[in-house]
Amino acid sequence: MKNALIALALGPPLLWGCTSSPPEPTSRSAQFTDYPRQLLETFEISCDGPGEQFRKTKSTQFECLSALPPDTTAFLILSYDGSTQDLPKGIRRLSARRNTAGYRVDAELFFLIPQKEGAPVKVPIESAALDQELTTLYRYFGGMPL
């Protein structure tokens, strides 16, 4: 399970599995009965690789910012007319908000591309493999994927 968390927290999924059973539904959101302290602490601890920075942007929002490889950086700058002074980053964000059933955790995965002028462009990362990893992690830490 630790390998699955590291694969999610450090970047693209490292675990690819084959199964003969139909795929289970995946989700980037989960419901927890109690505050998901262990999930959030593990997320913070795992954000310690080269070029990574953890930050808590709000009391309920946690981010891991990652420097990108040069080819990905160049592609994003050229594709989205980005700035070369402030480079794009990969961002993994977890938000944990209290609700009537306990806590809802939502994950966002995206590239943030600063512009020459104006607000940065946010490009969502869509990945069935990452969604599966999130579903697995939520269950491991006691959550019910939504």
Question: Cα angle at 55 between 101 and 25, to 5 degrees?
Answer: 45
Residue 4 pLDDT class (50, 70, 90 cuts): very low
Would you tell me how many other CB atoms lie within 10 Å of the CB of residue 11? 17
Q: Is residue 68 part of a domain?
A: yes
Task: Say if residue 127's pLDDT is above 70.
Answer: yes
Q: What is the DSSP letter of 28?
A: S
Give me the half-sphere count of Cα atoms (radius 13 Å) on the Cβ side of residue 40. 20
Q: Kindly state whether residue 21 falls inside one of the protein's structural domains.
A: no
116 in Cβ contact with 82 (< 8 Å):
yes
| 64 inside domain | yes
Indicate the SS3 state at residue 29: strand
> Among candidates 49, 79, 45, which has minimal Cα distance to 62?
45
Percent of the chain at pLDDT > 90 equals: 79
pLDDT at 26: 75
Q: For the chain, where are the alpha helices, taking DSSP H only?
A: 2-10, 37-46, 70-79, 128-140
Q: Is residue 119 part of a domain?
A: yes
pLDDT of residue 27: 84
pTM for the full predicted model: 0.80
Q: What is the number of domains present in the chain? A: 1
pLDDT digits (tens, 9 = 90+) for 94-117: 999 999 999 999 999 999 999 999
Question: Is 18 within a domain?
Answer: no
Tell me the residue range of the domain where 138 lies: 2-12+27-145
Alpha-carbon distance 81 to 83, whole Å?
7
pLDDT digits (tens, 9 = 90+) for 10-57: 344 333 344 444 555 678 999 999 999 999 999 999 999 999 999 999
